[in-house]
Structure 1
Amino acid sequence: MVNFNVRFPEDLHARVRTQAAADRRSINSEILYLIEVGLITIAADAGSPGSDPVNPAPRGGNPDSSPA
C-alpha cells in the first residue's frame, strides 16, 4: 500500500470524520471508500451518451491548488 499525504480544509475533514463515524469506519477507510465510489461514478458517466471521456466536464472547486 502507498502512503500518501493530503491536506484537507478543516470543514471537509469534519464532514469526512462525521460520515466515517456514521458508517463505523476509520477516516482512512472512509476516504478510500469515497474515492472508489467517485471513480466508479466517473467511469459510469463516461459511458453515457453525449459525454466526452477524454475531456470530462470540470468539477467544482479549484482544479489544482497544489504548489508546482
Structure 2
Amino acid sequence: MIKLNLRLPDDLYDAAKALAASDDRSLNSWLTAAVRRAVESSGTPDRPGSDPATPAPLRGSGHPRRH
C-alpha cells in the first residue's frame, strides 16, 4: 500500500469528512472508495455517456502563473 499526502481546500475536506461520517466510514476509507469508483467508471466526464457524479479533471496546476 502506498502512503499519499493529499492537500484539499478546507471546504472540500469538510464536505468529504461529513460524507464519510454519514456513511460510517473513516475519511481515508471513503476517499479510497471515491477514487476507486472514479478509476473504475466507464467514460470520462468530458465525454458523453460518462458518470456525471465524477468530477471533471482540473485544468492547470491551480496556482496563478508567475511572470
TM-score of the pair, normalised by structure 1: 0.65
Give the helix-richer structure, 1 or 2.
Answer: 1
Runs of 4+ in 1 over 2 A off after TM superposition: 59-66
Query: Distance between the aligned counterparts of 1:31 and 1:39, measured in 2?
Result: 12
The percentage of aligned residue pairs carrying the same residue is 24
Structural RMSD (CA): 2.6
Query: Distance between the aligned counterparts of 2:32 and 2:60, measured in 1?
Result: 20
Structure 2 runs not aligned, ≥5 long: 50-55
Letter in 2 for 1:24: D
Q: Which residue number in structure 2 is paired with residue 65 of structure 1?
A: 62
Q: Deviations over 1:18-61 (max 9, x none)?
A: 110011000000000000011112xx116xxx78xxxxxxx254
Shift of 1:65: 3.2
Paired positions, count: 55
Structure 1 runs not aligned, ≥5 long: 52-58
Q: Which residue number in structure 2 is paired with residue 21 of structure 1?
A: 21
Query: Distance between the aligned counterparts of 2:25 and 2:19, measured in 1?
Result: 8
Query: Distance between the aligned counterparts of 2:9 and 2:59, measured in 1?
Result: 12
Shift of 1:7: 0.7
